[in-house]
Amino acid sequence: MRPSGRNLSDMRPISIETGVMRHAEGSCLIVCGDTRVLCSATIEDKAPPFLKGSGQGWVTAEYGMLPRATNTRNRREAAAGKQSGRTQEIQRLIGRALRAGVDRRALGERQIVVDCDVIQADGGTRCASITGGWVALRLAVNKLLKAGIISTDPIMDHVAAVSCGIYAGQPVLDLDYAEDSEAGTDGNFIMTGAGRLIEVQMSAEGATFSRAEMNQLLDLAEGGIAELVRAQKAATT
């Protein structure tokens, strides 16, 4: 039995509320169980210097966690004077994931920055950031299309992410913190709406896993991604 009482293949309740930030070109609050992430997308009229003259745009991300998003207070990284290695790794992951679903030439020489701020954490914050970040990105691109600034939709497919792991010897979908902290194997799966893999992060956290178990986790992830994509579609159409 999972701590939450969910079945092995059950996701936590998902909701995505859009238009939660007045000034951002695209924004949403994504809620996955008790994990809540505020995502916003900002359009900048020029691409980074390394893309100048290339005709291509860029999508990047920044990630942060409020001090009391967790059980105990975490010191603000700004107060420490630098980002932690974990924060840098997560925001690079979000950026890579979102770029995989974008035709950067159709975007033109501009940059979209997706900010993901965790206001409450209960496991799966990077996955929620990617899933919600895509919604914010979609809404920002819709404004470019509506204004006639670009003529071709640069978003090629949905991008979503979900965690899976081996908990108490069983493969489970969408780990909350209680499961994540005790899982023998932990993985994050990032996929497109068409089911194509973008990135898989898997590691043994005290117990090695078999090829068969990895396949079981991938099967669970596919079902979870399909549910997340349905939520993205409902939020953006």
User: From the annotation, which residues make up the binding site?
Assistant: 86, 124-126
Give Cα separations from 223 to 34, 53, 83 (angstroms).
20, 41, 34
User: From the annotation, which residues make up the binding site for phosphate?
Assistant: 86, 124-126
**Strand positions, DSSP E, the chain:** 14-18, 26-32, 35-44, 58-65, 111-120, 159-167, 170-173, 185-192, 197-204
C-alpha to C-alpha distance for 79 and 62, rounded to whole angstroms: 17
Which of 58, 61, 64, 114 lies closest to 92, judged by CA?
A: 61
